[in-house]
Amino acid sequence: MALEAASAGWVSEKGSFMSAFTSHKAILPFLLASAGIAGPITTVPWNGHTGAVSFTYDDARNSQIPNLLPQLDGLGIKATFFITNMYSFPSKSSEWIEVAKKGHELANHTSNHNTPTSDNVRTMATTLRGLNPVVEALTLAYPNCTVSGTSAVEAENFMARGCGQTTYAWNKQPSDWMNIQGLILGPSSAGNGVTMMNTAKNNNAWVTTIVHDVANSPDQYSLTPADNKKMLDQAVANKLWIATYQDVGAYYRAHFTMDNVNASAGNGPWDLKWTSPHPKMPRKVLLKVKLDANTFGAANSIKVMQNNQEITPESDGSYTIDFMLLGMKVTKVPVGVARERSRLEGFQVRRDGRGFDVEGPDAARIDAWTLSGKHLGATDLSEGGKARLDVEASSSVLLVATRAGGARSSQVVGPVH
């Protein structure tokens, strides 16, 4: 990559920074024209997967804990359980708390399995949230698929599940977050479960399944353990994002806000802020986002912070941020200087597996940074002296020397082979 190839020696920061800025401006219109109309921040679709699925199971039926949980846990799949007081809950509430602690979602199906009202929605929400702090109970499934009482539903939930064949495309905002549909499966339509997993992948879409019991001799809204397992296996084979209704829904809903955040191209700093799309969003919504290089500069020239903590980029250049912090700060770091040719000589560097030996003519402070701007360590060099700087890094490292008086020079040192 250009950064490493062009960095044979120490460079003067001031001169190179100006020329880097000038060339950036000259090339900008071309980049904008070729890149299309991407926003400054874009969320990676479906958390980096091609398609997503949420498996939902209703009513807290007796078969679910003994027959279904082992399947889910064996595959590491987190599912959603829409709970009502009419079946095995609340008599088995302690077992359901254990289900929630494993990362499955316990969500609202009203306390009495009737059409939603303020009373039966709030009663169930309060009960579930009182079980354990991990239970947020922020989504609801309409009993008997009757989409009604939506204002009572919306008071406690950021999203609610109706019934139907709708699949959800990444870039199209749903018309009604209080009717995000799943498809009911039964013994005669068990094959539809597998078909849905393929639809999600082929259309890069989100699908939700609805099942009641997982048992032998299933009723018309239930599956045998074997048919349920076939569907789960297909989702795994298709490498879909398999996550709870709440987790996929919150990621999906948040991205319509995130991808509309504005930022002007330049040298920053940027103090970006946004607002939550609904008062009942989850406490934390982790989003994988990419920052447009035409606006902010390349990943190795910026620093991303939330709550005074640096977010370091993943290997694909994305950042995993918490959307619910409702802001992030982006600043330039002096990494881009190493792109220019050497103009300042004097220091000698030798890298080994554990760090650097540095030798130089002048007293200086030596700082080590990753190319994404994370500070690795520092050491002081006396006039005509030698210093040792141990760092834990196997990739290229940027060394910055700051002489007494403030003059700086820098060098990228490649990995040890």
Single out the segment in contact with Zn ion by CB under 5 A; choices: 59-67, 308-316, 381-389, 391-399.
Answer: 59-67
Q: Is the dihedral of CA 192, 196, 198, 199 positive or negative?
A: positive
58 is a site residue for Zn ion (CB under 5 A): yes
Smallest separation (angstroms) from Zn ion to the CB of 59: 4
Which of 212, 153, 159 lies closest to 185 in space, CA to CA? Answer: 212
Taking CB under 5 A as the criterion, which residues in 327-356 touch Zn ion?
none
Calpha distance 410→413 (Å, rounded): 10
CB of 144 to Zn ion, least distance (A): 7
Residues 175-204 that bind Zn ion (CB under 5 A): none
Q: Which is nearer to Zn ion, 17 or 87 (CB)?
A: 87
Least Cβ distance, residue 82 to Zn ion (angstroms): 7
- Burial code of 121-137, b = ≥16 C-beta within 10 A, e = fewer? bbbbbebbbebeeebbb
Query: 């619910």: which residue's tokens?
Result: 324
**Of 56-64, 117-125, 153-161, 398-406, which part binds Zn ion (CB under 5 A)?**
56-64
Answer yes or no whether residue 213 interacts with Zn ion by CB under 5 A: no
Task: Give the span between the Cα atoms of 364 and 381, in whole angstroms.
Answer: 5
Which CB, 110 or 257, lies closer to Zn ion?
Answer: 110
Contact with Zn ion (CB under 5 A): which of 17, 41, 55, 59? 59
Task: Report the nearest approach of Zn ion to the CB of residue 247 (Å).
Answer: 21
Q: In the complex, what is the shortest distance from the CB of residue 70 to Zn ion, in angstroms, rounded to a whole number?
A: 23
- Residue 190: what residue type? A
Please identify which residue in the block is written with the tokens 């298709």. Answer: 238
Binding status of residue 227 toward Zn ion by CB under 5 A: no
| Residue 59 or 340 with smaller CB distance to Zn ion | 59
Closest residue to bound Zn ion by CB: 58
CB 80 within 8 A of CB 105: yes
Q: Whole-number minimum distance, CB 68 to Zn ion, in Å?
A: 15
Q: What is the rounded distance in angstroms from the CA atom of residue 46 to the CA atom of residue 32?
A: 26
Closest among 47, 54, 107, 52 to 79, alpha carbons compared? 54
Binding site for Zn ion (CB under 5 A): 58-59
